[in-house]
């Protein structure tokens, strides 16, 4: 009996190792300090077990000069709990960038700032003034981002607030492999945002990730977006959140081995 239990434990341990390595393998296997890591810390789309899925999106970026949180999900308790379970320290975050005003991207901010107010929060200019005042009241600094692309931090840029539909900014991480573009909901159209990022920095997009906002769209509309992204030369994609199941299936078909799982708990590593 004891032997069979030991074998069971060994199998479980082996499986755990395999799961860890398969996540690492998604982006490469160079030394840890030479990578930009994108941690999906809030998402309605599940990926890693033991975390709490809820509608919304947040992504933590480390491996650069500063740790950056892009969006905060809809619920700060869920956000902080997921970060803790993923071994990520909320107090290490130095900058928070919000993509757009919707609650599934901004709802976790107040709880996050109660834990760590020592950050600069980058808000699109269209946010109500009261929102910025509340951030300052909670102890953080505010920078507003207007239309037009700009640098936010070392290796971190914004598309600027884009004005088609709901006003929104995408985050751009400039890596030696190419650009990583992260969209919250991509209300201004994910292809428009990718084109803006690429035209601004004049570099190809290595990875496009986040919510692509294609739920309920026809196959023809989704294929038109895929065609534009392919024409841009987008190397890898990791769609999640509001992308929609059908669009995710079509992106998976179109990118094959360059499709990366982007659900909750995914860690995407970009070698520098």
Query: Which residues sit at the interface with Zn ion, rule CB under 5 A?
Result: 102, 104, 185, 242
Report the Cα 201 to chain-centroid distance in Å.
20
Q: How far apart are CA 168 and CA 86, in angstroms?
A: 28
Report the DSSP beta bridge partners of residue 151. Answer: 157
Tokens, residue 55: 């509608």
- Best CA proximity match to 233, nearest among 264, 216, 255: 255
Which letter does DSSP use for residue 147 in this model? S
Report the Cα 154 to chain-centroid distance in Å.
18
Question: At its nearest, how many Å lie between Zn ion and the CB of residue 166?
Answer: 6
* Beta carbon nearer to Zn ion, 103 or 148: 103
Question: At its nearest, how many Å lie between Zn ion and the CB of residue 4?
Answer: 48
* Beta carbon nearer to Zn ion, 74 or 265: 74
Question: At its nearest, how many Å lie between Zn ion and the CB of residue 124?
Answer: 12
Question: At its nearest, how many Å lie between Zn ion and the CB of residue 98?
Answer: 11
Q: How far apart are CA 228 and CA 196, in angstroms?
A: 12
* Beta carbon nearer to Zn ion, 27 or 263: 263
Report the DSSP beta bridge partners of residue 75. Answer: none
Question: At its nearest, how many Å lie between Zn ion and the CB of residue 71?
Answer: 8
CA-derived radius of gyration, the chain:
19
Residue 175 backbone dihedrals phi, psi, to 5 degrees: -120, 160
For residue 20, with 0-12 CB atoms within 10 Å meaning exposed, 13-18 middle and 19 or more buried, which class applies?
exposed
DSSP SS3 for 189: coil
* Beta carbon nearer to Zn ion, 101 or 232: 101
* Beta carbon nearer to Zn ion, 237 or 242: 242
* Beta carbon nearer to Zn ion, 161 or 174: 161
* Beta carbon nearer to Zn ion, 102 or 157: 102
Question: At its nearest, how many Å lie between Zn ion and the CB of residue 182?
Answer: 13
Q: How far apart are CA 245 and CA 42, in angstroms?
A: 18
Residue with the two structure tokens 């901004």: 106
Question: At its nearest, how many Å lie between Zn ion and the CB of residue 57?
Answer: 6
């Amino acid at each position: 009996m004891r032997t069979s239990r030991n074998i069971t434990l060994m199998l479980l341990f082996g499986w755990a190792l395999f799961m860890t390595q398969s996540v690492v393998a998604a982006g490469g296997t160079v030394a840890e300090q030479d990578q930009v890591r994108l941690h999906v810390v809030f998402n309605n789309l599940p990926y890693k077990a033991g975390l709490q899925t809820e509608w919304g999106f947040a992504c933590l970026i480390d491996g650069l000069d500063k740790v950056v949180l892009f969006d905060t999900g809809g619920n700060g308790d869920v956000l902080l709990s997921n970060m803790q379970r993923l071994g990520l320290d909320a107090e290490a975050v130095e900058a928070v960038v919000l993509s757009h005003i919707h609650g599934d991207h901004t709802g976790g901010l107040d709880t996050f700032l109660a834990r760590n107010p020592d950050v600069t929060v980058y808000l699109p200019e269209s946010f109500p003034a009261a929102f910025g005042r509340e951030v300052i009241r909670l102890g953080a600094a505010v920078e507003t981002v207007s239309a037009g692309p700009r640098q936010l931090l070392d290796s971190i840029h914004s598309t600027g607030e884009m004005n088609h539909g709901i006003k929104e900014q995408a985050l751009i991480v400039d890596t030696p492999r190419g650009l990583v573009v992260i969209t919250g909901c991509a209300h201004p159209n994910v292809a428009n945002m990718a084109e803006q990022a690429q035209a601004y920095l004049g570099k190809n997009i290595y990875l496009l990730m986040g919510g692509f906002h294609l739920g309920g769209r026809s196959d023809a509309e989704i294929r038109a977006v895929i065609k534009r992204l392919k024409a841009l030369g987008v190397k890898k994609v990791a769609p999640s959140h509001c992308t929609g199941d059908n669009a995710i299936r079509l992106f998976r078909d179109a990118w094959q081995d360059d499709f990366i799982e982007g659900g909750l708990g995914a860690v995407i590593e970009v070698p520098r």
